[in-house]
Structure 1
Amino acid sequence: MNADFVFWPSVAFMATCNLYFGRRIRGDRIAMQWGLDGRPTWYASKAIGLWGVVGIALAVRLLIWIASTYIPTKVHGVEAGLLIASVVIAASHALVLRKAVQGV
């Protein structure tokens, strides 16, 4: 699948971000989502905040593969969906880690 040429570098990018930002994050919890007022709405432990997102990305890829293999008539736009998911997950993960380093 051509979208894998974006997906796997995105996973590598997220892992690299984890290694780079992980030791720069001072706290043991990471804000994972922000409300409209700009304040964090929930936190995760540092390990989950760093590596859980990579696991979610891999789970989404596995789900897409299972669906396109076993029920291909029900799946449409696999390439576009995987491409968009890869970019959005990687970009949002990098932004979350950047905010965590800033102490937000």
Structure 2
Amino acid sequence: MLAADLVFACALVVMIGCNLYVAPRIPHARIAMQWGFDGKPTWDAPKRIALWGMVVFMLIVRLIIWTAVTFAPDKVHGAELGLVLASVIVAASHIFIVLQAIRRA
């Protein structure tokens, strides 16, 4: 699980660094979180929740995976792959959202 934890930690550091660097550069109070097929935002969130909510989400996912592996190890299969995929996908989507917020500014 060490390699998966390293990927998770790197993704978390990238997201936190991205938030610290980009937050002052986004002048809007709200950030678009999802887009429709026409390319227009379908909903948005307050800036703090949009930026830091994803970090909290990743920590909660890691806590759930740790709990499952610790208390029901015989029922958990592929926890390492799941953690790596979740880390990469959440970090990539967060970076996409941040880049869209910068582009909108």
Structure 1 residue 101, shift from structure 2 partner: 0.9
Partner of 1:3 in structure 2? 4
TM-score by length of 2: 0.95
Find the aligned partners of 2:73 and 2:43 in 1 and give their Cα distance: 37
Structure with greater helix percent: 2
Q: In structure 1, list runs of 5 or more residues that go unmatched.
A: none
TM-score by length of 1: 0.96
Equivalent residue letter for 1:34: W
Kept in 2: contact 1:30–1:49 (CA 8 A):
yes
Detail structure 1 runs of 4+ shifted over 6 Å in the superposition: none
Find the aligned partners of 2:17 and 2:89 in 1 and give their Cα distance: 16
1:16-42 deviation digits (Å, cap 9, x = unpaired): 010111111110000011112111111
CA-atom RMSD in angstroms: 1.0
Equivalent residue letter for 1:10: A
- What are the equivalent positions in structure 2 for 1:77-92 lying under 5 Å apart? 77-92=78-93
Q: In structure 2, list runs of 5 or more residues that go unmatched.
A: none
Structure 1 residue 55, shift from structure 2 partner: 0.2
1:1-28 deviation digits (Å, cap 9, x = unpaired): 2200100011000000101111111100
